[in-house]
Amino acid sequence: MLLYCGKSDVGMRRKINQDIYGAMPIWDGDALLLIVCDGMGGHKAGDTASKTAMEAFCAVVSSRPCTADDPVIRSDSIKSTLVAAVKEANESVYKLAQNHEEFKGMGTTLVAAIVSRGMLYAVNIGDSRLYLVTRHEAKQITRDHSFVQFLIQTGQITPEEAKNNPRKNVITRAIGVASRTEVDFFNINLRKWGSGYILLCTDGLTNYLDNKILFELLFQSREKVRPTPQEELEKKVETLVSFANKSGGSDNITVLLARF
């Protein structure tokens, strides 16, 4: 099973942490589930949204083990499970928001991955991200569902201009804000990437870095005393969270890192 480590930090300016993450072996140890959510809403609504979404999502995934060996059938089966889990998460948050005045308008981003038998299967909604980082590159796998990403895709602004756009935190898709939502799915053969890290994180981190900085943060350190693999992973998580806080810490910061 892969090594993993996560941390969620309130940041330097917020009073409540509306982020949440989870990591757990599933399907009798045949797979690892990773998930990060970034809630939004008024007092207590954002953290209720993220917690509700994560619990509903994990319950569906855990209850639907995939036993297929054929790669195509297996991918289709896991995709179906992930999409069903997103649907359940969305319905759970939406119903709660509709039935309780204090939760009106709440929602959450969601990025999740199942790692099994050398493959990574992922889904995302919103602007929380999944990266793969090796000794050769850092690559963002997911695509943000955000207003500035739309402007980039339509050629209205450049990625460099997006960094300082006043609407960079406006997302166009989220869990729980409507009765239905769309989800992006990705499947990646990790064997083709060699070895490295799977990173799931919220915009409290990504607001302050690009692929180059991320690569440097994960591979720059050289320890005099060689730590254990788990200790090394924990130090890298601390490095990322500390970097975001030192850069301003304007939002909650969540980092979930797995080594493959």
Per mean pLDDT, which range of 47-51, 175-179, 225-229 is the poorest? 225-229
**What residue spans define the domains of the chain?**
3-259
Output the average pLDDT for the chain: 95
Residue 222 pLDDT > 70, yes or no?
Answer: no
Decide if domain 3-259 falls under CATH 3.40.50.11890: no
Residue 111 pLDDT > 80, yes or no?
Answer: yes
Residue 109: Cβ within 10 Å count: 28
For residues 58 and 88, give the distance between their C-alpha atoms in angstroms, rounded to a whole number.
10
For residues 133 and 137, give the distance between their C-alpha atoms in angstroms, rounded to a whole number.
6
Average confidence (pLDDT) over 178-201 = 97
What pLDDT score does 223 carry? Answer: 67
Average confidence (pLDDT) over 208-233 = 90
Give pLDDT tens digits for 20-38: 999 999 999 999 999 999 9
Residue 26: Cβ within 10 Å count: 18
Residue 175 pLDDT > 80, yes or no?
Answer: yes
Reduce the DSSP state of residue 146 to 3 states and report it. strand
What pLDDT score does 204 carry? Answer: 97
What pLDDT score does 225 carry? Answer: 79
Model confidence, pTM: 0.94
